[in-house]
Structure 1
Amino acid sequence: MAAGKNSPIVKALTIAERKTSGEIRVHLSRRLIEKDPLGRGLALFDEYKMTQTANRNAVLIYVNLRCQRFAIIADEGIHRAVGQMYWEELAVNLKEDLLSTYFENAISLTIFTLGVTLQKYFPVDV
């Protein structure tokens, strides 16, 4: 993976968060044993204090690269705005993208999608 500002994931995050009050965070893991990516993602969501955004509009993308498993964790504000079906479709698309392209590209596509959605429901306060 490219380091720092040159990473496609970092570039995608910068662009996506530019026009929204929402927060998107990505956590990549290489743990050998990962039985519950959702549980790990929820723990990280709490550890990163992602429920502290003003509109409860934070999203965590947790990906275990070694096990090729992931979880998308959304706070209640954005979840309420888009509904469960949105997250299910986003997860299907991420899974397909992870199988068909480099993980950086797959995650970046998901970030761009989230950015558009967050901008629609939670535009940046001017």
Structure 2
Amino acid sequence: MNLKRIIRHLWTDRRTVRRAFPSRSMQAIEIAIRQAEAGHQGQIRFAVEASLDWGALLRDQTARDRAIDVFSQLRVWDTAQNNGVLIYLLFADHDVEIVADRGIHSRVGKQGWEAICQDMESAFRQRQFEAGVISGIRAVGEHLARHYPGQGVQVNELPDQPVQM
């Protein structure tokens, strides 16, 4: 149990996230997802969570483990070609995790996703939250376009709206 982490999570709430991602930023993120998905058959979701609850903190749940839970809750795995990708931000930790369905993950791999996460986290350290997320969406979109190029009319299997957990 990390006392600094617990305190950071106690002080980070939904208002903190709304200050970093006001409604105009959330709209810009939704537009970026829609634009990225126009060029491929994949699906992208973005979720931001202010902090973990007490139980998760006491269990020392990692951002990765929570991202996997959110991937399941949002049914990102439920795509016809197994090409859904979740970009998850645990705001209290400024930790980005990308969870990708098996179809696209087998083609990009852990290192490819980790590079995107590191770039996003670098932008967040400079307090460029919207720009960091949009850059990450574009990078994920490039992988999806390479491996699942668009063909005719794209079917939008998952909502484009960002989710605040």
TM range, smaller chain: 0.7 to 0.9
Q: CA RMSD in A?
A: 2.0
* Cα deviation digits, residues 30-76 of structure 1 (max 9, x gap): 12556411111101111112112111111101112233222111111
> 2:125 matched to which residue of 1?
99
2:112 to 69, 86, 89: 86
What TM-score, normalized to structure 2? 0.68
- Tell me whether 36-45 or 66-75 shows the greater mean CA deviation: 66-75
Q: Per-residue CA shift, 1:73-111, capped at 9, x if unaligned?
A: 111111111222211211221221221242111011000
- TM-superposed deviation, 1:2: 3.8
More deviation in 78-87 or 37-46? Answer: 78-87
SS at match of 1:117: helix
SS of residue paired to 1:84: helix
Kindly indicate whether the alpha-carbon contact (under 8 Å) linking 1:5 and 1:11 is maintained by their aligned counterparts in 2: no
Task: Count residues with an aligned counterpart.
Answer: 126
Is residue 2:42 matched to residue 1:26?
A: no
Q: Which residue of 2 aligns with 1:69?
A: 95
Q: TM-score, normalised on structure 1?
A: 0.87
Unpaired segments ≥5 residues, structure 2:
1-20, 153-165
Q: 1:51 touches 1:58 (CA, 8 Å); kept in 2?
A: yes
Instruction: Note if contact 1:2-1:8 (Cα within 8 Å) is conserved in structure 2.
Output: no
2:63 equivalent in structure 1: 37
Kept in 1, the 8 Å contact 2:94–2:121? The answer is no
| Structure 1 residue 4: Cα displacement | 6.4
* Identity percentage of aligned residues: 26
Larger radius of gyration: 2
Structure 1: gaps spanning 5 or more residues: none
Quote the Cα distance in structure 1 between the aligned partners of 2:98 and 2:29.
Answer: 15
